[in-house]
Amino acid sequence: MLYLEEIFMLPILAQSPVQLEAWFRERGLPAYRARQVRKWIFERRAAGFDEMTDLPLDLRGRLAEEFSIWSGRVAAHAKSADGAEKLLFEQADGNRVECVLLRDDRRHRTICLSSQIGCAMQCAFCATGIDGFVRNLSAEEIVEHALQLQRLLPDDERLSNVVVMGMGEPLLNLDGVLPALAAIASPEGLGIGVRRITISTVGLPKGIRQLAEMNCLYHLAVSLHAPNDELRERLVPANRGVGIGALLSAADYYFEKTGRRVTYEYVLLAEINDRPEHARQLAEILRGRPSLVNLIPYNPTPDLPFRTPASAVTAQFAEILAENGLTTAIRYRKGDRISAACGQLRRSHS
Ligand code: SAH
């Protein structure tokens, strides 16, 4: 049975700085307390109000009666030898969603956040799509994931980068994603600069243009995965009725508006989109576009029939792109032992 207080507790992460200040003011308390509380949550990584030792004891009690900090719980925590850690969250309604912390040797501490529970895009090779779409994540749920990932770091390490590349399609949940990223970017939140925040999209021209108009300067990554419409429609059904032409011109518009070079992601699937002619075709369609191509060797998913190309095939693909003047990187897999690709950990726990 739920107690009334539990039902009426306000999620503190849903309060904007202005709203939280108003809560203090309305109770005749100084507004700077709101900043103190936010600092405890975002910077000092407090797990509960009882840890906020520079607040009067009775105020700590009162906050704990009225607000909750966490709405979900960590249902599973996996670690891999390369430093990647993955959390499987159970949200208040019982739905499960993943997020990941990635470490590299250049002291980057990158978190990969989900935007939705499940996904409606049904990309042929992606584990998230198999179980379909459930619902959007709220802004406070997304921020909560970021904070819990931050809590995995030792005190002297900070998060440096954020990628919205977990479960779901972020451009179909801008109402959740944009306020969450605003809190993550804000100096009063996690203070991670917009240039170190990436939104990865399946490639919806309308959403890309909308984001460009907002001019919020996040780095945009487009999941292209194929150099022609026929193949892209097989791998990425969202391409149907849209087409690569419309997608690339929306991406060009994003660059025009923001000055930010777009990244094209290309998952390499053995014998499907990894042939030299695919590389040449890709170079052809991206020629003259300021861009970066990120080649991602496929991370195998048990229920799906795709395979990872041999590393020589991947290297040759990259070489053809480079010969044609494209800036190319191969994103070597991190965390594959912990099912780090989109949707894999959730499936292994269902
Ligand atoms: N919906 C967004 C963000 C989520 S997926 C998008 O499509 O970009 C993040 C990236 O991981 C996408 O490029 C996606 O195609 C890729 N991906 C999904 N499953 C994968 C797998 N098993 N191996 C490698 N990359 C995968």
* Nearest residue (CA) to ligand 1, atom 8: 201
Query: Ligand 1 centroid to 159 CA: how many Å?
Result: 22
* 267 CB within 6 A, ligand 1: yes
Please say if 99 is a catalytic residue: no
Ligand 1 atom 4 nearest Cα: 165
Place of tokens 């390499």: 268
Identify the residue whose tokens are 């960590």: 74
pLDDT, tens digit, for every residue of 274-302?
999 999 999 999 999 999 999 999 999 88
Pocket probe mutation, ligand 1, options 267, 303, 330, 336, max atoms within 8 Å of Cβ:
267
Euclidean distance between CA atoms 47 and 348, whole angstroms = 28
234 conformational bin, left if phi > 0, alpha if psi -120 to 50, beta if neither: alpha
Strands (E), the chain: 10-11, 67-68, 73-79, 85-90, 96-103, 109-112, 116-118, 133-136, 161-164, 197-201, 219-223, 262-268, 291-297, 327-330
Q: Is 169 a catalytic residue?
A: no
Eight-state DSSP code of residue 15: S
Task: Verify whether ligand 1 is closer than 6 Å to residue 265 (CB atom).
Answer: yes
Domains plus CATH for the chain? 17-68 (1.10.150.530), 73-338 (3.20.20.70)
Closest residue CA from atom 9 of ligand 1: 165
Per-residue pLDDT band for 348 (boundaries 50, 70, 90) equals low
Which of 183, 165, 181 shows the shortest CA–CA distance to 299?
A: 165
CB-ligand 1 contact for 223 (6 Å cutoff): yes
Mutation pick for ligand 1 pocket among 337, 342, 345 (CB with most ligand atoms within 8 Å): 342
DSSP for 283-334 reads: HHHHTTS-EEEEEEE----TTS---PPPHHHHHHHHHHHHHTT-EEEE----
**Cα separation, 64 vs 66, whole angstroms:** 6
What's the pLDDT band for 67 if we cut at 50, 70, 90?
very high
Helix axes 139-150, 174-185, angle to 10 degrees: 40
The CA distance from 78 to 76, in Å, is 7
Segment 148-160 shows an average pLDDT of: 96
Helices 174-185, 205-214: crossing angle, 10 deg rounding:
40
**What is the model's pLDDT at position 333?**
63
SS3 135: strand
pLDDT in tens, 198-247: 999 999 999 999 999 998 899 999 999 999 999 999 999 999 999 999 99
Predicted structure pTM score: 0.94
Provide mean pLDDT across the span 99-113. 93
Q: Which residue has the tokens 């904007």?
A: 16
Confidence of residue 182 (pLDDT cuts 50, 70, 90): very high
| Mean pLDDT along residues 46-73 | 96
Q: Please work out whether the CB of residue 49 comes within 6 Å of at least one atom of ligand 1.
A: no
Distance from the alpha carbon of residue 333 to the mean position of ligand 1, in angstroms: 12
| Cα–Cα distance measured from residue 145 to residue 70, given in angstroms and rounded to the nearest whole number | 9
Best substitution site from 99, 121, 122, 165 to test ligand 1's pocket, by max atoms within 8 Å of Cβ?
165
Q: Which of 112, 119, 126, 342 is catalytic?
A: 342
> Angle at Cα 204 formed by Cα 201 and Cα 210, nearest 5°?
95
pLDDT at res. 345: 61
Q: What are 29's two structure tokens?
A: 């308390």
Q: Among the options 85, 98, 140, 169, which is catalytic?
A: 98
Question: Over the Cα atoms of the chain, what is R_g?
Answer: 21
